[in-house]
Structures are given as C-alpha cells and as structure tokens.
Structure 1
Amino acid sequence: MFPVGGCRADASQSHHDYPASDIFANVGCLFVAPIDGRVDEVTRVDNWDPKTNRGPDRGGLSVSIVGVDGVRYYGSHLSAIGPGVRPGVSVHAGQTLGRTGKTGSARVTPPHLHFGISWPTKPNTWWIRRGAVAPQQFLNSWHHGGQLSPVSTVAKTHRAYGADNGCREYC
C-alpha cells in the first residue's frame, strides 16, 4: 500500500546519493504501514544538527517496520510518531505509523516522507535502513492500486551488496 495517506503526495522518481524516494506531502499527512509486519526501529528525538550533518541523525523522527515479506520499510522526517508505535509491535497495512513532517535534514527542504526499502539488519545500521533498493517502481505501483512486491529485488540487491563493513556513501 502507498505509504502516505490522507492527502495529495508525489513520490520523487530519483534520489541523491543512495536509493530512496522523497514523497512530498504537506506536514501532518499520514505515514501508514505499506504491509502487515512488525515495528523494527523508532527514533523519537530529532538530534540532527546542520553543523555536523551526522548520517545517523539526518532522518529526524522515523519508524521502520519489517514486513511479513521479510523486507524493511523505512519512513523519516516525521512530525509525529503514532501512538503505541514501538519496536516489536505488530502493525497492519494501512495502519498509521506517524505523520509527515520536516524533522532531521528536512528542516531545510519542503516537507516530505523519506521512504527507503532494504533488508533487515542489526539495530542502528542507518546506512542500510535509509534505503538500499530504489523504491520508485514499487511506490508507483502502490500509488495506482498495484501490488508489485520488492522481495526479489531486495534479495538480489542484498546478495550483490555483500559483507556490510559500514557506510559506503553519503556518510
């Protein structure tokens, strides 16, 4: 399911430096679970500082889930985290995870949901969590009511990525 609801939203067809999409929408639109799954990581404090621009802090408020399909879905720059959203909680497709916003490095951009797709990793592996697979074809499908699955693309990309020895780009 398309991860932004309740208002008009337009997904970027490219992204700078690593595979992800910025879904431009007004502050306060719903960020919803694109699939049934469980909450993986939640960041409730915006620690981003433009002077340091640390990678782990760029997302501001964020939520990631691991879907029943084994894929991790990540949304950041939220203005709020949904009530009861915490690691380990089960969620259903369409359930509100938070609200779109301008936290983290989005303080200096138009409001949007940064959306990433990846494989599950150990906690705090932000360079994978932020996006490792280009999500545009999936977002385009979901936005038009389609069901295109990222499972095989995520598996293929994970195999090609190889051993994870830390952040490789835009760190």
Structure 2
Amino acid sequence: MSWRHRAPWKATSGGRRTYPVVFLLVAGLGAGCGAPPAGPDADRPNWRASGGATGTTPPTAGSPPAASPTTASPTTAGPTAPPDGRRYFFPVGGSNVAYHPTHSAYPATDIFADCGTPVVAVTHGVVLEVSRSDTYDRRKPDGPLNGGLFVSLLGDDGVRYYGSHLVEVATGIDAGVRVTAGQRVGSVGRTGNANNVCHLHFGISPPCAGTGDWWVRRGVVWPAPYLDAWRKKRDSVPADKVAGWQRERGCARTP
C-alpha cells in the first residue's frame, strides 16, 4: 500500500516551512519507513525534529544526499564522541535529523537524515552482525534482505541495537569487534528497502539467536523514549523493558 510521508524539513528564507510529499511503498513486515498512526491526522505525524522539539508539522526535504549508496567511500571506525562519561548516545549525528515515534507493523524508529550523516554506536558493546552488501530485491521475499547494509551490536547492558539502510559500514567494524559509545560505525544511506529515502532504521531487541533472526533484530520495543533521552545527553537504559518483553514472549525461532 502507499502513503504520504514527509522528508526532513528545512525552513525557507522567509521562515516558512515547505513540505513536499514523497509517495512510498511499504512492505508489510519490511524495515522500510514507518507508517503514520491511524486517525484523521495520519498525514501529519508528531515528529521529533532536529532541536528535539515536538511539533505537528513534519519536516520537509533537506539538502541533497551527501553520498550515493553505490559510490560512498568507507569511513574508518574510531571514537568520535567527547569522553564525557555518558553511556548512551543518539545514533545519528548532524543537525538535519528527524524521527517519528511510531513505525509500521512492529516497534522501531526511522531516523531521517542526509545520506552520509555519521551513525554511531549508542552504547559500549560488541558487534554481532555486519552486512556490507545490498542484496535486496523487490521481486523476492524481502524480510531477511530489507536492511541492506547494516550493523547489529550487543550492548554491555544485554540489549541488541540494530541500524540498517547504511550507505557504508566503517572500516574495522566487524563481528566480534568491541566498540565504545559514540564510536562511528557507518553512515546514513538508503540501501535495502529504504524506499529511496535516506534514513537509519533503528531497532532495539533482546539478543535471542544473536545472528540471522531478522524478525526479532528489526525491533521489539519502541525506541523513541530512549532516543528522546539520548538526544538530550541523558542516559536511559532499555534493558528492563527488553527483558520484560522476552519473559512474556520468548524468542521466536521463525518469523
């Protein structure tokens, strides 16, 4: 099905906001852009904008993508955040960033930013999975392939964090590698089932199988409350919420 979705906004010189409409095709269980909530104002979702403020007007188109998903040069992994003692970081850098608190079909968040914007580890941990190739094909079942290029991290808090649709994965980011909170792991892109819109699909889940279980890895609890806190440089830990979900539902072995 198709729905109208707004891209990150940018004010005009007169102070007004414009918001061109982008038509997207959303796969029912894909990791593409999240659908707006049902209701009479479904086409005007409540966005978290660059400054952390919440408004009733979605962002509009920002600057052109900084890099093409097929031509970006890999960055080198390395700490990029100040050593201020924080344990958690907002996963996307840059100023032209917005996200919606809900998502279609399952709990996750799509964080919209220009292609090439840094993506960082949200907390200290060890890399579980990395995909450096985009094998998504709309003609085939797309569940396992939706993410395109992605990084999955097991945090020291016992929670799995997943970021997909990357334009590239940073050099040195491989399974088994230890990373620190705020360390760059890749860049925002539009690989996989991203509907040609630059964004990071961000999911929070228990580790379960650790690898391959895309139906859990894509997200099981709503990330928005934690993203709100991390953006304000406040540590907020999703471990209890994730553990509660796992106690109630367990880890499904198949989709």
Q: Is the structural similarity TM-score above 0.5?
A: yes
Structure 2 residue aligned with 1:100, among 185, 188, 198? 188
Q: 2:11 is matched with which residue?
A: none
What is the CA-CA distance between 1:5 and the residue it aligns to? 1.0
1:89 counterpart = 2:177: yes
What is the CA-CA distance between 1:138 and the residue it aligns to? 0.4
Structure having greater relative contact order (Cα 8 Å, sep ≥ 6): 1
Structure 2: tracts of 5 or more residues without a match: 1-88
SS in 2 for 1:152: helix
1:58 counterpart = 2:146: yes
Alpha-carbon distance in 2 for matches of 1:37, 1:153: 18
Q: 2:74 is matched with which residue?
A: none
Structure 2 residue aligned with 1:154, among 236, 242, 254? 242
Alpha-carbon distance in 2 for matches of 1:12, 1:127: 21
1:140 counterpart = 2:218: no
Q: Is the 8 A contact 1:82 1:97 kept in 2?
A: yes
Alpha-carbon distance in 2 for matches of 1:53, 1:16: 18
Structure 2 residue aligned with 1:49, among 126, 129, 137? 137
Q: 2:156 is matched with which residue?
A: 68
How many residues were matched structurally? Answer: 166
CA offsets, 1:21-44, max 9 Å, x none?
A: 000000000110000101010011
- Higher Rg: 2
Alpha-carbon distance in 2 for matches of 1:60, 1:118: 19
Structure 2 residue aligned with 1:120, among 197, 202, 207? 207
Q: Is the 8 A contact 1:11 1:139 kept in 2?
A: no
Alpha-carbon distance in 1 for matches of 2:92, 2:174: 19
Alignment RMSD? 1.1
Q: How does 1:20-35 map to 2 (within 5 A)?
A: 20-35=108-123
Q: 2:52 is matched with which residue?
A: none
Runs of 4+ more than 3 Å apart: none
Q: Which structure dedicates a bigger proportion of its chain to helix?
A: 1
Alpha-carbon distance in 2 for matches of 1:88, 1:8: 32
What is the CA-CA distance between 1:121 and the residue it aligns to? 2.3
CA offsets, 1:88-146, max 9 Å, x none?
A: 0000001011000000001x242100000001122201111111111110011111111
CA offsets, 1:134-166, max 9 Å, x none?
A: 111001111111111101000001111125141
SS in 1 for 2:225: helix
Q: Is the 8 A contact 2:208 2:251 kept in 1?
A: no
Q: Is the 8 A contact 1:20 1:114 kept in 2?
A: yes
Task: Output the amino acid matched with 1:162.
Answer: G
SS in 1 for 2:236: coil
Structure 1 window deviating more from structure 2 (115-124 vs 155-164): it is 155-164
Percent identity over the alignment is 45
Structure 1 window deviating more from structure 2 (1-10 vs 32-41): it is 1-10
